[in-house]
Amino acid sequence: MIASTALRKRLSKSMATLREVAEYARVSTAVVSRVLNNKPGVWASEETRQRIIEAAELLKYTPSASARALSTGRAMQLAISTADASLQSGSPTHLWQLLGFTDAAGAAGYRVVLMASTEVQPDAEDFESLLRSNAVDGFCLFAEQLTPPVRKALLTSGIPFVAVGDPGDESIPQVDIDNFAYTYESVKWLAEQGHRRIALAEFAEYEGGGAVPPHHAKIRAGYRAGMAHFCGGSEDAWEPTTRTKSTDERIAYVSGPDSPTAVILPSLLDTVVWEASFRAHGIRVPEDVTLLAHVSSMETVYLEPGLAYHAHDLRAMGHRAGRLLLSWIESGVSPASRILIPADPPQWRRLTTDPSFSAPTERNDQ
Amino acid sequence: MIASTALRKRLSKSMATLREVAEYARVSTAVVSRVLNNKPGVWASEETRQRIIEAAELLKYTPSASARALSTGRAMQLAISTADASLQSGSPTHLWQLLGFTDAAGAAGYRVVLMASTEVQPDAEDFESLLRSNAVDGFCLFAEQLTPPVRKALLTSGIPFVAVGDPGDESIPQVDIDNFAYTYESVKWLAEQGHRRIALAEFAEYEGGGAVPPHHAKIRAGYRAGMAHFCGGSEDAWEPTTRTKSTDERIAYVSGPDSPTAVILPSLLDTVVWEASFRAHGIRVPEDVTLLAHVSSMETVYLEPGLAYHAHDLRAMGHRAGRLLLSWIESGVSPASRILIPADPPQWRRLTTDPSFSAPTERNDQ
DNA sequence: CTGTTAGCGCGTTCAT
DNA sequence: ATGAACGCGCTAACAG
């Protein structure tokens, strides 16, 4: 086949093989392999050792990934599925987790392969066939992807995998934000600012039939625990949703005499929308209403001055997931652990060109 | 080594090899390979052919990626670098392009590997070593990543690659939005709505020393051409920047007697910010000022009713880039082409719960 | 301690 | 039309 022949020629021109290095250094391939891989028990004459290293450098030797994979049975590759609703919709949240995961993999010499999919739910068969092809050594999944069939396929195959987020099953290796403590601390901080009537605005995707996602349950639990401890309890009306509300409804939430004086919001976009609604109607932020944004630490720069924020590091989260997965792969035994990432303490977004601004009762302790 | 032994055992239990399929079907491995790969010149007795296929299915045979790669010299993998400022900052724009690229790769049987990096500028050595390791057959880069050293490394190596966006060099294979026509059409549409004084608000990252990015130059050229053709020219003051302006400055832009009556905005976030500024100061959108948002087609759902938008399909763009790269890989010859993706026609965002809203002088022709 | 050799699983010539 | 044999590049077992 012509293409094949041409290919080989091109490759043999630019690629240095282990054999070539060995010939150049006048030793056998085995020694080269052992020296370059730092195998123990090689007190090779320090002189030949240098000769080998120099030869490899001179010839720009790079081991063939496929040959090594074939020989060792390890592809040195990790897979991550894109069959996720948030990711498909462009969520930076998942992108940061993905990047953090990739960092961890790269630092350990692993590559990350993206599993193609336009679906929002993964197909178990995709995992199985990729697994059988021996192209990857482990999987990373976002929590929502861990449907019963996928979970079963992964567990029975014995392949290492890790979940990012809260899959609602503590027995599988996972890394998540500590959502309970996170929201609890948000409430605590707002209480320290003098607030007692604090609202928690959440997404409402699951309204109308869907089940409450596990991480939302934890957020609510943390909120209620905080309210009970620091504010003498809360009311159901203080848990509005973010997406079903119009500007008028948002205004109404904070206008009554017993209405909340602070609102915890779950995303940057919601924060911008709520803030716009308030400012457009003469409600001052933070003087009249304090908005506490739950955001990623990468997003804080986009927050308007006068907002409070409580940030978590999603990239670190993905990184941690990668390391957990790698520990499984390299030890061969499932860590069976559940890692919760703590958040930084809440803060005010102070940077402003308006020198008259000052956040009320500033506090910034650990 | 214990781990290695355990590994082999696990693999041999769950993986079916070509040899096993051959033994099960009582033929030689060569025939199995030919039949399963649909090689021409195989009028194998239709009966054995069936036997082979059934055997493969029964044993859940999946070819070993590394073995095939080693044998054919093709890894069936494409690489995409993450060393990009926008991507690192969480840009959904690049994420969609990435997903589109992954779609195209997956459809052709290729996997996509993510090159790890926390940097915003890629290192040429990363590409070269990955290339030498024979782990990928081609590269996809975002335009900003194509710095001189990287470009040189790729060109001299002869490895197939493609740029997404505008690298400012038409000789290399690339896929981009047709930014000239895009902005030209935006102006045309606004002119059709009755506007004559139209502003173009851009990012200002390159102000203060940086060079004007190639795609911004095209956007401006399209804007000016459109203004010259449909509005009798434009003024320099109608090209403000989006990030350096405060609310007051934005208000000022549209408040004078000769100020713009329409503003073209480059992103969803800017759109939200400008709109909030206007509404907060009693400037009605779109009655007083029309805002035309340049967004991705995936984002239109987030636009407030009353905004105009002009969307492009970033996912399709990434897809097209993937196909271009694949054509290079499979033909062996550089396509040396430059593909420009057209945008959909501008539209009003009409969906609203407020029945009193109606966009002025609606037009929606192709 | 080092060199020789046998695979890893697949694609592909060469005989038949 | 089909089977036997070789090689891709590397690692790991076995000799020396």
The tens digit of pLDDT for each residue in A37-76 reads 887 776 667 778 888 888 888 889 999 999 999 999 999 9
Mean pLDDT of chain A: 86
Of B15, B103, B118, the CB nearest to A118: B103
Compute φ and ψ for B129, nearest 5 degrees: -70, -40
Is B66's pLDDT higher than 90?
yes
**Considering only A35-49, A149-163, A315-329, B77-91, which range has the smallest mean pLDDT?**
A35-49
Provide the H-helix boundaries in A108-254.
Answer: 124-132, 148-157, 179-192, 214-230, 247-253
Q: What is the pLDDT of residue A363?
A: 33
Q: Which nucleotide is nearest to B30 (CA to C1')?
A: D3
Q: How confident is the model at residue B312 (pLDDT cuts 50, 70, 90)?
A: very high
Query: CB distance from A296 to chain B under 8 Å?
Result: yes
Is A199's pLDDT higher than 90?
yes
Contact A70 B64 (CB under 8 A): yes
From the Cβ of A74, is strand D under 7 Å away?
no
Is A209's pLDDT higher than 60?
no
- Per residue in A97-126, pLDDT (tens digit) is 999 999 999 999 999 999 988 888 889 999
3-state secondary structure of B229: helix
From the Cβ of B41, is strand D under 7 Å away?
yes
Interface-testing mutation among B66, B159, B315, with chain A (most A C-beta atoms within 10 A)? B66
The CA distance from B224 to the nearest CA of chain A, in Å, is 31
Residues B61 and B18: beta-carbon distance below 8 Å: yes
- Per residue in B127-165, pLDDT (tens digit) is 999 999 999 999 999 999 999 999 999 999 999 999 999
Neighbours of A102 (CB within 10 A): 28
Query: CB distance from A155 to chain B under 8 Å?
Result: no
Using CB atoms and an 8 Å cut-off, which of residues 203-242 of chain A contact chain B?
none
Query: CB distance from A132 to chain B under 8 Å?
Result: yes
Which tokens hold the place of B343? 């945008």
From the Cβ of A44, is strand C under 7 Å away?
yes
Q: What is the pLDDT of residue A155?
A: 92
A-chain residues near B12 (CB < 8 A): none
- Per residue in A306-342, pLDDT (tens digit) is 899 999 999 999 999 999 999 999 999 999 899 999 9
**Considering only A44-48, A173-177, A207-211, B122-126, which range has the smallest mean pLDDT?**
A207-211
The percentage of chain A sitting over the pLDDT mark of 90, rounded to a whole number, equals: 54
Question: Which residue of chain A comes nearest to B67, CA vs CA?
Answer: A70
Contact B7 A88 (CB under 8 A): no
Is A356's pLDDT higher than 60?
no
Residues A27 and A34: beta-carbon distance below 8 Å: no
From the Cβ of A4, is strand C under 7 Å away?
yes
Question: Which residue of chain B comes nearest to A6, CA vs CA?
Answer: B332
Return positions of chain D under 7 A from a protein CB: 1-5, 7-13
Nearest to B61 by CA among B18, B124, B31: B18
Burial pattern A309-333, b for ≥16 Cβ within 10 A else e, equals bbbbbbbbbbbbbbbbbbbbbeeee
Is B365's pLDDT higher than 50?
no
Q: How confident is the model at residue A202 (pLDDT cuts 50, 70, 90)?
A: confident
Is B7's pLDDT higher than 80?
no
**CA of residue B20 to C1' of nucleotide C10, angstroms:** 13
Is B320's pLDDT higher than 60?
yes
More confident residue, A295 or B5: A295
Q: Average the pLDDT over A152-174 and give the result.
A: 94
Query: CB distance from A156 to chain B under 8 Å?
Result: no
Chain A 19-48 residues whose Cβ is under 7 Å from strand D: 19, 29-30, 33, 36-37, 39
Mean pLDDT of chain B: 86
Query: CB distance from A269 to chain B under 8 Å?
Result: yes
* Cα angle for residues B202, B322, A121 (degrees, 5° grid): 90
Of B10, B15, B88, the CB nearest to A158: B10
- Per residue in A243-254, pLDDT (tens digit) is 656 777 888 888
**Considering only A92-106, A347-361, B13-27, B90-104, which range has the smallest mean pLDDT?**
A347-361
CB pairs under 8 A between A and B: 167
Question: Which residue of chain B comes nearest to A330, CA vs CA?
Answer: B3
The percentage of chain B sitting over the pLDDT mark of 90, rounded to a whole number, equals: 55
CA-only gyration radius of chain B, Å = 27
Contact A70 B88 (CB under 8 A): no
**CA of residue B172 to C1' of nucleotide C8, angstroms:** 39
d(CA A26, CA A220) in angstroms, rounded, equals: 69
Which tokens hold the place of A265? 């919001």
B-chain residues near A295 (CB < 8 A): none
Q: What is the pLDDT of residue B78?
A: 98
Q: How confident is the model at residue B206 (pLDDT cuts 50, 70, 90)?
A: low
Q: Average the pLDDT over B263-288 and give the result.
A: 85
Neighbours of B265 (CB within 10 A): 26
Which tokens hold the place of B181? 């026509």
Q: What is the pLDDT of residue A42?
A: 63
**CA of residue A109 to C1' of nucleotide D11, angstroms:** 18
Query: CB distance from B156 to chain A under 8 Å?
Result: no
More confident residue, B46 or B188: B188
Query: CB distance from B60 to chain A under 8 Å?
Result: yes
The single-letter code of the amino acid at B270 is: D
Q: Which nucleotide is nearest to B133 (CA to C1')?
A: D9
Q: What is the pLDDT of residue A247?
A: 76
From the Cβ of B38, is strand C under 7 Å away?
no
**Considering only A214-218, A220-224, B308-312, which range has the smallest mean pLDDT?**
A214-218
Is A203's pLDDT higher than 50?
yes
Of B10, B98, B118, the CB nearest to A103: B118
Q: What is the pLDDT of residue A43?
A: 62
Is B352's pLDDT higher than 70?
no
Query: CB distance from A273 to chain B under 8 Å?
Result: yes
Q: Which nucleotide is nearest to A31 (CA to C1')?
A: C2
Q: What is the pLDDT of residue A99?
A: 97
Is B6's pLDDT higher than 50?
no
Q: How confident is the model at residue B24 (pLDDT cuts 50, 70, 90)?
A: confident
Contact B107 A116 (CB under 8 A): yes
Query: CB distance from A17 to chain B under 8 Å?
Result: no
Residue A256 CB partners (closer than 8 Å, separation 6+) = none
Contact B116 A105 (CB under 8 A): yes
Is B326's pLDDT higher than 70?
yes
**Residue holding tokens 């990350």?**
A112
Q: Using H for helix, E for strand and C for coil, what is the string for A266-305?
A: CCHHHHHHHHHHHHHCCCCCCCCCEEEEEEECCCHHHCCC
Q: What is the pLDDT of residue B205?
A: 59
Selection from A214-223, A295-304, B282-291 with the highest mean pLDDT:
A214-223
The CA distance from B16 to the nearest CA of chain A, in Å, is 8
Query: CB distance from A96 to chain B under 8 Å?
Result: yes
